[in-house]
């Protein structure tokens, strides 16, 4: 079934001077010109130190706002305000500042807000009363 085709004959004349030497392996087909493996680099890489700094500062931010509360409803509202301001700061940091810190701020504020809303949902489920109104 499979036929073997004869190899191409060797050229009868030498290559001109300055002609590149034959490459090892399979020659490129010409379908994709340029380097065979492009390298893409992030212009602003995210480091672990920036993410940890964002996490720590947002935990402190949420803790300060949460300490202003005296019951669940005020705790939830203060946490909502703190999370919204933290997300605004994360957006500004994404555009103009350190993206690693922005990631840490967004992660910590989302986690803090979800914990506060879990407490609100727990109160709502157990007492059938929505605590935020």
- Checking if the pLDDT of 1 tops 70, the result is no
The per-residue pLDDT for range 81-130, each reduced to its tens digit, is 999 999 999 999 999 988 999 999 999 999 999 999 999 999 999 999 99
For 1-133, where are the alpha helices, taking DSSP H only?
48-66, 72-96, 99-127
The per-residue pLDDT for range 29-76, each reduced to its tens digit, is 667 666 566 667 777 788 999 999 999 999 999 999 999 999 999 999
Position of tokens 């009868």?
12
pLDDT of residue 16: 74
Contact 100, 51 (CB under 8 A): yes
The per-residue pLDDT for range 65-77, each reduced to its tens digit, is 999 999 999 999 9
pLDDT of residue 32: 64
């Amino acid at each position: 079934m499979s036929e073997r085709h004869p190899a191409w004959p060797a050229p009868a004349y030498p290559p001109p001077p300055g002609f590149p030497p034959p490459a090892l392996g399979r020659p490129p087909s010409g379908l994709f010109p340029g380097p065979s493996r492009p390298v893409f680099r992030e212009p602003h890489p995210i480091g672990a130190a920036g993410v940890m700094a964002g996490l720590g500062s947002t935990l402190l931010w949420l803790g300060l706002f949460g300490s202003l509360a005296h019951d669940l409803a005020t705790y939830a509202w203060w946490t909502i305000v703190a999370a919204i301001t933290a997300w605004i700061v994360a957006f500004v940091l994404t555009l103009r500042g350190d993206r690693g810190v922005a990631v840490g701020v967004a992660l910590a504020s989302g986690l803090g807000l979800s914990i506060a809303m879990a407490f609100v949902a727990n109160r709502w489920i157990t007492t059938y009363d929505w605590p935020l109104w």
